[in-house]
């Protein structure tokens, strides 16, 4: 069975094509959104999702979140006494979604369409595929998130020609894509974005403002280490940010060492402090239109995806820039997952869906290092020679012939980079391949360098010398962000040794983690009350009577709801 997965920065969702439509699948807690958070409990068992997110507040040093931002890098996070890579943490989230889907569908799920930001580079896409493999999922196809959003809206099925701008601002990234739909063919004309701009930056601004205006004076420790009080502040900041999408003012309150510290934020003040962030939102919008040579007034539709597009200032900016209102009737948190489910349906050739050809674009320019001749006798080494230009429709295969620079050269080194700068030192190094050549006078011997970029965003580089009959193809080595096949096998075996909390215990673990978080966040008699409830819940769990456990959980849930707001 094949499912569609939105592997998000803040949360993830899984969906399936069923009975002629996209259906989202609830997790063990009955929720469609599973926080992309991994933590470990006192027995070093792995928790994923809501329980992990609550655990992060009380035990920040044994939890990891927003690891999607580091996909494709060798950054590691400490969880369960181990240092885990972003793709390993992502694989734990994927495994949890896979288990939810299997429980819901009653059959084995062994394949997935996973969405990635259109802006993800080669290493990040490879890491996403590796995460799927580590979770035991075959991932033939990665789907860019904006394309998924357009698929969910069904904008790809009409015959008339249209140009769709998809603006997706989630927790961690902003993606802008220009899609062109014509006779059922969907083409991504241009993509732009900012991988360091998302809803969390707005939350962070609120937390910083709170510290500056109230926290510091109240003696709160500065945001340096991972202290529980800081996780609490961020959580409260997140809540009031959402409140400010509907209300003119909101109040944040944190408890610290027996004191409650309160602070009120007006929407107007919030929007003022966000101006620099909103200015950054404009840049990729303008670049995508420029790259695709599209005038704003010719856009047929603007589609919103990602929770952060709910902010009124965001909607105002887009309406002002494009003089039209974006469509957002599908829940922006769900739209990408729904599109992934549609794509999964296409692959499975499900009923009620016509096959559509989708194309994609290269998010960055890909090229090699060359020495350019500025003038006679003057050479400029380290120049970037683009081979596949940014926003080229893929799959694409392009080649370029380079020549030798010195007499009797026996080897030519092809160094591969991605980026937009003229000098390679300002671009991102991807790897290199050396090719043997016949010794000859400088400039006589040539090598054809071919780049082939596929729809999953994977790049293959081939170098063919003119005088020999062999082709060297590029194995990107020394890139810390990419796991080899052997590494993946090895890590899969290691991951299998991690103890994961049993799914049927998920509700108990989640409610206990939440109660423990509230115990830390509250004070005085409320705290004592919560402590007593935690003990009672633990006792009932030990008693192993399913009916009593369910009843106690419902009671505790109601009690916690009365003192806390859920973020989901």
Residues carrying an active site annotation = 6, 68, 145, 168
Our CA dihedral for 36, 39, 45, 46, rounded to 10 degrees, sits at 20
Identify the CA nearest to 152 among candidates 402, 391, 410, 341: 341
Q: How many CA atoms lie within 13 A of 325 on its CB side?
A: 5
Instruction: Give the nearest distance from C-beta 308 to ligand AMP in angstroms.
Output: 4
> Binding of ligand AMP at residue 15 (CB under 6 A)?
no
Residue, CB closest to ligand AMP: 199
How many binding residues for ligand AMP (CB under 6 A)? 20
Is 68 or 125 the residue whose CB approaches ligand AMP more closely?
68
Residue 547: both structure tokens together: 């009916």
Residues 6+ apart with CB under 8 A from 351: 20
Binding part of the chain for ligand AMP, among 109-117, 237-245, 290-298, 507-515 by CB under 6 A, reads 237-245
Is 200 or 521 the residue whose CB approaches ligand AMP more closely?
200
C-alpha angle 509/535/559, rounded to 5°?
70
> Binding of ligand AMP at residue 310 (CB under 6 A)?
yes
Among positions 23, 157, 162, 245, the unique one binding ligand AMP when judged by CB under 6 A: 245
Binding part of the chain for ligand AMP, among 238-246, 269-277, 474-482, 489-497 by CB under 6 A, reads 238-246
Residue 220: both structure tokens together: 């709160």
Residues 6+ apart with CB under 8 A from 507: 28, 29, 553
Question: Do 87 and 487 meet the contact criterion of CB atoms below 8 Å apart?
Answer: no
Residues 6+ apart with CB under 8 A from 324: 299, 302
Binding part of the chain for ligand AMP, among 179-187, 199-207, 287-295, 457-465 by CB under 6 A, reads 199-207
Among positions 4, 72, 193, 307, the unique one binding ligand AMP when judged by CB under 6 A: 307
Instruction: Give the nearest distance from C-beta 341 to ligand AMP in angstroms.
Output: 16
Is 10 or 191 the residue whose CB approaches ligand AMP more closely?
10
> Binding of ligand AMP at residue 435 (CB under 6 A)?
no
SS3 call for 366: strand
Binding part of the chain for ligand AMP, among 80-88, 197-205, 420-428, 475-483 by CB under 6 A, reads 197-205
C-alpha angle 267/272/276, rounded to 5°?
130
Instruction: Give the nearest distance from C-beta 200 to ligand AMP in angstroms.
Output: 5
Q: At what angle do helices 335-348 and 145-153 cross, to 10 degrees?
A: 80
What are the backbone angles phi and psi of residue 91, rounded to the nearest 5°?
-65, -30
> Binding of ligand AMP at residue 241 (CB under 6 A)?
yes
> Binding of ligand AMP at residue 13 (CB under 6 A)?
no
- Pairing label, strands 63-64, 46-48: unpaired
Question: Do 533 and 541 meet the contact criterion of CB atoms below 8 Å apart?
Answer: no
Is 232 or 418 the residue whose CB approaches ligand AMP more closely?
232
- Pairing label, strands 142-144, 111-116: parallel
Is 175 or 462 the residue whose CB approaches ligand AMP more closely?
175
The 3-class secondary structure across 15-55, one letter per residue, is EEEECCEEEECCCCCCCCCEECCEEECCCCCEEECHHHHHH
CA 374 to chain centre: 42
Instruction: Give the nearest distance from C-beta 394 to ligand AMP in angstroms.
Output: 25
254 bridge partner residues: 261
Instruction: Give the nearest distance from C-beta 329 to ligand AMP in angstroms.
Output: 16
> Binding of ligand AMP at residue 171 (CB under 6 A)?
yes
Is 127 or 206 the residue whose CB approaches ligand AMP more closely?
206
> Binding of ligand AMP at residue 199 (CB under 6 A)?
yes
- Residues near ligand AMP (CB under 6 A) are 8-11, 170-171, 198-200, 203, 238, 241-242, 245, 306-308, 310-311, 333
């Amino acid at each position: 069975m094949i499912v569609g997965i939105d592997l998000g920065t803040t949360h993830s969702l899984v969906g399936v094509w069923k009975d002629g439509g996209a259906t989202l699948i609830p997790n063990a807690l009955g929720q469609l959104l599973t926080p992309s958070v991994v933590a470990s409990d006192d027995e070093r068992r792995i928790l994923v999702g809501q329980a992990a997110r609550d655990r992060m507040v009380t035990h920040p040093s044994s939890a990891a979140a927003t690891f999607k931002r580091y996909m494709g890098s060798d950054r590691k996070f400490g969880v369960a006494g181990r240092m885990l890579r972003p793709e390993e943490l992502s694989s734990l989230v994927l495994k949890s979604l896979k288990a939810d889907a299997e429980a819901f569908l009653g059959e084995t799920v062994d394949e997935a369409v996973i969405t990635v930001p259109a802006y993800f580079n080669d290493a990040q896409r490879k890491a996403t595929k590796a995460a799927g493999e580590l979770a035991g999922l075959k991932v033939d196809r990665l789907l860019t998130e904006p394309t998924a959003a357009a698929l969910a809206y069904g904008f790809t099925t009409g015959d008339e020609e249209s140009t769709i701008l998809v603006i997706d601002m989630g927790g961690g990234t902003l993606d802008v894509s220009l899609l062109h739909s014509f006779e059922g063919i969907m083409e991504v004309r241009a993509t732009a974005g900012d991988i360091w701009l998302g809803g969390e930056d707005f939350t962070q601004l609120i937390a910083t403002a709170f510290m500056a205006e109230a926290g510091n004076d109240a003696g709160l420790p500065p945001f340096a280490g991972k202290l529980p009080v800081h996780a609490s502040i961020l959580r409260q900041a997140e809540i009031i940010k959402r409140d400010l999408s509907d209300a003119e003012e909101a109040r944040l309150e944190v408890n610290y060492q027996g004191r409650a510290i309160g602070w009120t934020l007006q929407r107007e003040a919030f929007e003022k402090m966000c101006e620099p962030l909103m200015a950054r939102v404009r840049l990729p919008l303008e670049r995508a239109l420029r790259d695709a040579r599209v005038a704003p007034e010719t856009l047929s539709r603007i589609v919103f995806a990602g929770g952060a597009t709910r902010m009124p200032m965001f909607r105002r900016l887009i309406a002002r820039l494009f003089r039209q209102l974006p469509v957002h009737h599908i829940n922006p948190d769900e739209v990408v997952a729904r599109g992934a489910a549609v794509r999964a349906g296409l692959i499975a050739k499900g009923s009620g869906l016509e096959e559509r050809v989708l194309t994609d674009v290269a998010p960055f320019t890909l090229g090699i290092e060359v020495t350019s001749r500025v003038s006679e006798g003057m050479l400029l080494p380290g120049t970037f020679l683009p081979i596949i230009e940014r926003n080229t429709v893929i799959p694409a295969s392009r080649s370029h012939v380079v020549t030798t620079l010195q007499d009797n050269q026996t080897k030519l080194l092809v160094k591969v980079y991605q980026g937009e700068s003229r000098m390679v030192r300002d671009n991102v190094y991807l790897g290199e391949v050396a090719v043997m050549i016949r010794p000859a006078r400088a400039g006589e011997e040539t090598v054809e360098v071919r780049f082939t970029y596929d729809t999953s965003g994977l790049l293959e580089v081939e170098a063919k010398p003119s005088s020999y009959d062999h082709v060297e193809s590029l194995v990107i080595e020394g890139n810390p962000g990419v796991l080899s096949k052997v590494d993946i096998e090895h890590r899969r075996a290691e991951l299998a040794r991690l103890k994961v909390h049993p799914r049927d215990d998920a509700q108990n673990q989640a409610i206990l983690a939440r109660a423990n978080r509230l115990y830390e966040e509250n004070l005085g008699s409320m705290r004592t009350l919560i402590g007593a409830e935690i003990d009672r819940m633990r006792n009932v769990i030990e008693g192993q009577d399913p009916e009593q456990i369910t009843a106690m959980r419902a009671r505790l849930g109601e009690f916690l709801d009365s003192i806390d707001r859920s973020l989901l």
